[in-house]
Amino acid sequence: MKNFKFFIKYLKPYKGRITMSMIYVVISTIFSLFSVTMIVPFLGLLFDTRKMVDAPVPFSFSSDAIVTNFYYVLSEIIRNEGKIMALVVICIIIVILFLLKNIAIFLSQYYLAPVRNGIIQDMRQALYDKILDMPIHYFGKERKGDIMSKMNNDVNEIEFSIIRSLDLIFKSPINLIFFLAALIYISPILTLFVVVLLPLSGLAIGAIGTRLKMHSLKGQQKLGYLMAIIEETLGGIRVIKAFGAEGKVNKGFKEAGTEYTKIMNNVTRRQMLASPLSEFMGVLSLTLVMGFGGYLVLSGSGLSSDTFIGYLIVFTQILAPAKAISSAYYYVLKGLASIERVETILQAQNTIVEIENAKAINSFNHSIEFKIKEFRYDKDPILQDISLKIEKGKTVAIVGQSGSGKTTMVDLLPRFYDVTDGDILIDGIPVRELKMNDLRALIGYVNQEPILFNDSILNNIAFGIENPDFDKVVDAAKVANADEFIVKREDGYYNNVGDRGSRLSGGQRQRISIARAVMKNPPILILDEATSALDTESERQVQTALGNLMKNRTSIIIAHRLSTIVHADEIIVMNKGRIVERGKHEELIALDGYYNKLHNMQMFK
């Protein structure tokens, strides 16, 4: 029940509404109980099995006093108006009680509706908050499709399986308790027989439900795998078509889909078994009660025929909540499997945390220092013995073969990762000691693959800025050499860029990305191979924009094309996670080492 405890915490903010709902459930149950027990005096009148009551007893909340006074009122109606009128009165009372019962049921569900919808909203928000809070390396370990499945399909399963069962979870036990109390009052001996039967029915239902959660968990995991395949297919559709791999990826998806279908068939069959099984167990219990109760009536054991019939009517009212509880049990088990998957996200530990009493920083004044003894993701070190100081206003380029640690090193500056051993300092303060938002506000990014959002050009340029000034957005676009193509598009700056900027060319996307960095106006700029994926004409336009962007800023450039960084103040050459050479372009060429080798390889391509 650990997973259910996790769910309970989402109920706490709604305890007031839940309390009101349960109050109305109790009221509806009382009305239902009284409307059903009206059958007993009706039968007593019809068959003359009850003696007339000649005088009332003092009023009290005891059942004996209420029953005696009620029979006195009926007796008075029979004496004065006749049995037909008494029968009409009972029928009217039953109708009124049923009306009040259904009004109370509506009110209980009225208060429960915001609980059902609010919990799902809270859970989705908690998941989204967690996703935004988690460090970059978390998303390298987890499949995006599986994360999406947990946030969408698993939450929907929780809504369908558990949230929709809330009224059953709250209502059915209360109904069961009240009706069972009535049965005990009517016939303790017969009720003892019932109390033995009901747990046996529960054991039969529980035996089938034990494997339901396990199968549901497997099903949700497989669905997450399917979502991951879909996400990868959408992201790599060009490659799939270019290599004629449609058949291969389709075969993999079909196999995973077939396996998922088999698992869900087992889940559905077990779930669908709940209703007929509980109904059969109910009928079996009713038959046994009829047999034992009939024996008590015929043997003269103090149970009258009309009381026995009334007992059976009340007992049939127990079957509905008992059946509802068994159905809710199956749904909850199925939902708990999804809670377990959702919990893997919410319980994930974020190792990149802001320390208590972190220091505020609003400007960059002197230098950035990398003093990294070692950094590792898991076991093997990625970076070792990195010592680098970047003065304010300088441009430093980092080059090296793929996998040499260039991007990893730069990602340590905004604390996308934390150094395993060593420090990175801004103006002499370790970045671990700075407020996270302040630190990242100092840094602007332009990546190799420009990441745009399915929104207008204006909102992409002013990303993260509330109520941006339109003129400043235009100024940023002009600096990025982007205004010219923007104004030619339909709706101009309000033109939607499409999914991931699909309606723009590569060079246009990159210039929008540069305009976004200009709009942020950071003192520190990181360019991660910002032109390596562009054609010659686009590269020329983007380089012009980058030149404008880098003016009066401290820039760190991760470069693939050495021709773009020949004028850097210092070039750092990396190999296997270490700095192997450093200096200006001419100095490194003269060394005739790693850099010269890279330079020659590009010159003679």
Q: pLDDT exceeding 90 applies to what percent of the chain? A: 2
Containing 169, the helix (H) or strand (E) segment is helix 166-186
Give the confidence band of 200 by pLDDT, cuts at 50, 70, 90. low
Pairing of strands 381-391, 367-376: antiparallel
Contact 63, 71 (CB under 8 A): no
Q: Which residues pair with 386 in a beta bridge?
A: 372
Q: pLDDT confidence of 369, banded at 50, 70, 90?
A: very high
Q: Which residue has the higher pLDDT, 237 or 361?
A: 361
Structure tokens at 521: 């106006």
Q: How many CB atoms lie within 10 A of CB 188?
A: 9
For the CA atoms of the chain, what is the radius of gyration? 37
pLDDT top residue among 220 and 82: 82
Question: Higher-confidence residue: 26 or 330?
Answer: 26
Please state the rounded mean pLDDT for residues 404-427.
Answer: 88
Compare 201 and 406 and report the one with higher pLDDT.
Answer: 406
pLDDT number for residue 489: 87
Percent helix, strand, coil in the chain (nearest 5)?
A: 65, 10, 25
Among the residue ranges 85-89, 116-120, 137-141, 362-366, the one predicted with the least confidence is 137-141
Q: In this predicted model, which residue has the larger pLDDT, 5 or 521?
A: 521
Residue type at 32?
S
| Strand 421-426 relative to strand 429-430, pairing | antiparallel
Which residues, listed in sequence order, are joined to residue 247 by a DSSP beta bridge? none
CA distance 486 to 478: 10
C-alpha closest to that of 457 among 477, 427, 434: 477
Fill in the amino acid letter for 242. Answer: A
CA distance 529 to 542: 12
DSSP 209-233: HTTHHHHHHHHHHHHHHHHHHHHHH
User: Binning pLDDT at 50, 70 and 90, where does residue 214 land?
Assistant: low
Buried b or exposed e, range 121-156, using 16+ CB within 10 angstroms:
eebbeebeebeeebbebbeeebbebbbebbbebbbe
pLDDT at 103: 93
At 299, list the tokens: 């043997």
The partner residues of 570 in beta bridges, in order of sequence, read: 396
Mean pLDDT of all residues in 541-552: 72
Angle at 29 between CA 23 and CA 34, to 5 degrees: 130
Task: Return the bridge partners of 434, or none.
Answer: 359
CB atoms within 10 A of CB 33: 19
Residue 592 CB neighbour total at 10 angstroms: 10
Residue 34 has pLDDT above 90, yes or no: no
Give the pLDDT confidence of 479-505 residue by residue, as tens digits: 878 888 888 888 888 988 887 778 888
CA atoms in the 13 A half-sphere facing the CB of 30: 8
- Among 11, 23, 14, 21, which residue's Cα sits nearest to residue 110? 21
On the question of pLDDT at 259 being above 80, the answer is yes
Strand partners, 575: 578
> Global pTM?
0.71
Comparison of pLDDT for 452 and 199, the residue scoring more: 452
Per mean pLDDT, which range of 19-28, 70-79, 217-226, 458-467 is the poorest? Answer: 217-226
State percent of the chain over pLDDT 70. Answer: 84
Output the pLDDT for position 254: 84
Confidence of residue 77 (pLDDT cuts 50, 70, 90): confident
pLDDT tens sequence across 564-592: 788 888 999 988 888 898 888 888 888 88
**CA angle (577 as vertex; 575, 580 as ends), nearest 5:** 45
Q: What is the pLDDT of residue 180?
A: 82
- Rounded to a whole number of angstroms, the distance between the first and last alpha carbons of the chain is 64
Interatomic CA distance for residues 581 and 368, integer angstroms: 19
pLDDT band at 242 (very low <50, low <70, confident <90, very high): low
275 confidence band (pLDDT: 50, 70, 90): low
Does the pLDDT at position 605 exceed 70? no
Confidence band, pLDDT 50/70/90 cuts, at residue 2: low
Mean residue pLDDT across the chain: 79
Alpha-carbon span 478 to 319, nearest angstrom: 74
